[in-house]
Structure 1
Amino acid sequence: MLSLSIARAPAATTERIVVEAYTGLAIGGVDPVAYFTDGQMLKGLPEFELMAQGAVWRFRNEDNRAFFAAAPQIYGPQFGGYDPVDVARGVAVAGQPRLWLIYGQRLYLFAREDSRNAFAARPDATARAAAAAWPALRETLAR
């Protein structure tokens, strides 16, 4: 008997938004609004999907989907979900939905715990450096 095991699709790092390579799901199907409303990482549901910015976003409920649709720049992860510490260095490394932080009313995802810790130690400086590096880095990523 042949047994197939399907591993979770790795995040694509050649896109302007971090998405799962095979599903197109942004941030692994996690509801980006739930970080703000519930203070935790919660999976979105297929019945509350929205296509935006070339990615499929999932939400826990209709309200969260509506909040995101009205203000994706607020609720979506900064720098397309790439780790801001790496972005500041000019490198696109996909952030992980389980490693997150809200700073300045914006969501940041991190690739590693040490990146999150470094950002938390100097959030203003790191966010400014990442914001300065992002436009050039973003242009190197696929549309």
Structure 2
Amino acid sequence: MTAQRQERNGGRGMIALRFRLVSIALWSSLGWVGLGVQACLPVPAEATTTERVVVNRYTGLAIEGYDPVGYFVDGRPEIGREDFEASEAGAVWRFRNEGNRASFVAHPDIYGPMFGGYDPTALARGVTVAGNPRFWLISEERLYLFGREANRDAFAADAPRVLREAKARWPELEQDLAQ
């Protein structure tokens, strides 16, 4: 996380992590009772599903900092570099090089993941689930991210049906997401 982003976020990510670690240590010291209570504590989510683009709530990075253009150019997920960032759709995107950054800035609608990075198989069921940048597929020249490998496989088996259902439900689901 850049110093500027830490300052903007007020260091909330580290504070939440420290609180969680202290809570775990405290409850663990209480033995079995501690384990029961500890299981009830909320676990911080890595990605938020209340935005139109899936963003890591602590870093502000879209698709966990992976280079969206890299899926098309390199044929695999590649972590972007802090030196090559761009802001688009309320998210910070990272790229491996200036060329990938320039391509994305010129055509974010082409290189950005479809449905803002939400899993299309989940959308087809009527729920928003953040896609994992490690489970991906390019279909009809669009990038899709999936929450689980099984969802990617189900999508690949019947992409036209899943896309038809996801596209039908997306406007209503997108409207419920924060602006």
CA distance in 2, matches of 1:76, 1:66: 13
1:54: how far off? Answer: 0.2
- Which residue of 2 is the match for residue 28 of structure 1? 64
1:9: how far off? Answer: 6.2
Compute the TM-score of the two structures, normalised by the length of structure 1: 0.93
- Which residue of 2 is the match for residue 118 of structure 1? 154
Please point out which of 6, 13, 17 is paired with 2:53: 17
Structure 1 residues without counterparts, runs of 5 or longer: none
1:42: how far off? Answer: 0.1
8 Å Cα contact 1:13/1:93 also seen in 2: yes
Post-superposition, which runs of at least 4 consecutive aligned residues in structure 1 deviate over 2 A? none
- Which residue of 2 is the match for residue 77 of structure 1? 113
Q: Considering only CA atoms, is the larger Rg found in Structure 1 or Structure 2?
A: 2
1:78: how far off? Answer: 0.5
- Which residue of 2 is the match for residue 137 of structure 1? 173
1:90: how far off? Answer: 1.3
CA distance in 1, matches of 2:165, 2:142: 16
Identity %: 59
Amino acid at match of 1:74: I
- Which residue of 2 is the match for residue 38 of structure 1? 74
Amino acid at match of 1:41: P
CA distance in 2, matches of 1:100, 1:34: 12
8 Å Cα contact 1:93/1:111 also seen in 2: yes
**Aligned residues: CA RMSD:** 1.5
Higher relative contact order (CA 8 A, sep 6+): 1
More helix by share: 2
CA distance in 1, matches of 2:73, 2:104: 12
CA distance in 2, matches of 1:103, 1:71: 17
- Which residue of 1 is the match for residue 85 of structure 2? 49
Aligned length: 139
Compute the TM-score of the two structures, normalised by the length of structure 2: 0.75
- Which residue of 1 is the match for residue 129 of structure 2? 93
